[in-house]
């Protein structure tokens, strides 16, 4: 039996006031929720999305709230620290993408460790924060094992322009969200190095193949990779200069050093930390991820861009 959707006007807390947190707070308010937005520095809320006005009625606070539903929009590498400090409360929806360095944990694995017993879901898919904040049409995924939780989150957040689809494969959805950032760096590097659109199309397609292998090895489903949280997110992130990971790759392909690119940025480029963690997690499960390994090698200074390209082109010819 399916649970009835939770009525709107329930409280939602958004944890994190970066661009994505601000966009989610705006969307939750448009959906009719009473929204609390937590920021480490409440006085600086709004700096991440200049020119975008938040809807009225959003309460900004520096104290971690315990609302009915919590959307965690902090960078993945800070998720453990913030989630561990949360007071007891309702379900947790992780809106960050990536793999934790050191532990190699996916977002929901982190939440299961630090908040055991609480219902958890992942919100993921192709979504630029500025477009969500502006109310432009967007389709994303709510991934959770429990159907009732998926329906609850969808009922609270959905509006006609912000379309949410349920997905019962949170592992596959999380792998898609993590791997697409790494592949996007490679896609940007291909264009930055002047290798052409053919090469980018080939790289994205082969990236999807390794993403699918890893998702299945971790217990996910190959079909999930063909959906919004896999292919959809990868296409957006790997083709637009508005993507932080793609633009990082562009600069890398043009000869810039990783440290210099990062020094000029205030926002997190999640694929940089995710790349070595993704490769290590794949090795743990015996999965070949040559595109991600090439990115990790360049970022770690172990190989040059030219060597990475040569290694990928020299791979053994085989059936697709």
Which residues are identified as catalytic? Answer: 180
18 φ, ψ to 5°? -75, -170
Cα–Cα distance for residue pair 147/142, rounded to 1 Å: 10
Other C-beta atoms lying within 10 Å of the C-beta of residue 88: 8
What CA–CA distance (Å, rounded) separates 249 from 291? 13
- Terminal-to-terminal C-alpha distance of the chain: 43
Specify whether the CB–CB gap between 150 and 69 falls below 8 A.
no
Instruction: Give the residue carrying structure tokens 């969500």.
Output: 132
Total residues belonging to the chain? 320
Asked if 308 and 294 count as a contact pair (C-beta separation under 8 A), the reply is yes
What are residue 92's DSSP bridge partners?
A: 70, 120
Q: Which long-range contacts (CB under 8 A, 24 or more apart) does 291-297 make?
A: 291/182, 291/183, 291/186, 291/203, 291/206, 291/207, 291/210, 292/179, 292/182, 292/183, 292/186, 292/207, 292/210, 294/186, 295/182, 295/183, 295/185, 295/186, 295/189, 295/271, 296/182
Q: For helices 197-217 and 170-192, what crossing angle results, to 10°?
A: 160
Candidates 129, 90, 137, 92; CA nearest to 110 is 92
Beta strand pairing status for 59-61 and 34-38? parallel
CB hemisphere CA count around 245 (13 angstroms): 28
């Amino acid at each position: 039996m399916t649970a009835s959707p939770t009525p709107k006007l329930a409280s939602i807390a958004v944890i994190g006031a970066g661009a994505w947190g601000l966009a989610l707070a705006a969307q939750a308010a448009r959906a009719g929720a009473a929204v609390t937005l937590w920021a480490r520095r409440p006085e600086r809320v709004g700096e991440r999305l200049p020119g975008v006005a938040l809807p009225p009625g959003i309460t900004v606070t520096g104290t971690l709230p315990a609302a009915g539903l919590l959307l965690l929009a902090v960078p993945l590498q800070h998720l453990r620290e913030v989630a561990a400090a949360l007071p007891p409360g309702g379900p947790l929806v992780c809106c960050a993408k990536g793999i934790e360095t050191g532990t190699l944990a996916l977002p929901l694995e982190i939440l299961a460790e630090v908040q055991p017993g609480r219902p958890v879901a992942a919100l993921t898919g192709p979504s630029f924060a500025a477009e969500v904040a502006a109310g432009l049409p967007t389709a994303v995924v709510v991934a959770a094992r429990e159907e009732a939780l998926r329906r609850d989150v969808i009922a609270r957040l959905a509006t006609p322009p912000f379309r949410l689809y349920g997905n019962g494969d949170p592992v596959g959805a999380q792998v898609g969200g993590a791997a697409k950032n790494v592949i996007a760096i490679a896609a940007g590097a291909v264009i930055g190095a002047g290798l052409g659109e053919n090469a980018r199309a080939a790289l994205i397609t082969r990236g999807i193949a390794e993403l699918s292998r890893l998702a299945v090895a971790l217990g996910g489903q190959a079909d999930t990779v063909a959906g919004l949280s896999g292919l959809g997110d990868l296409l957006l992130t790997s083709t637009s200069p508005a993507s932080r990971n793609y633009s990082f790759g562009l600069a890398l392909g043009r000869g810039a050093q990783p440290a210099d690119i990062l020094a000029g940025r205030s926002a997190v480029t999640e694929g940089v930390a995710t790349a070595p963690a993704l490769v290590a997690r794949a090795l743990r499960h015996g999965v070949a991820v040559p595109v991600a390994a090439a990115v990790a090698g360049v970022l770690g200074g172990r190989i040059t861009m030219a060597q990475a390209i040569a290694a990928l082109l020299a791979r053994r010819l085989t059936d697709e």
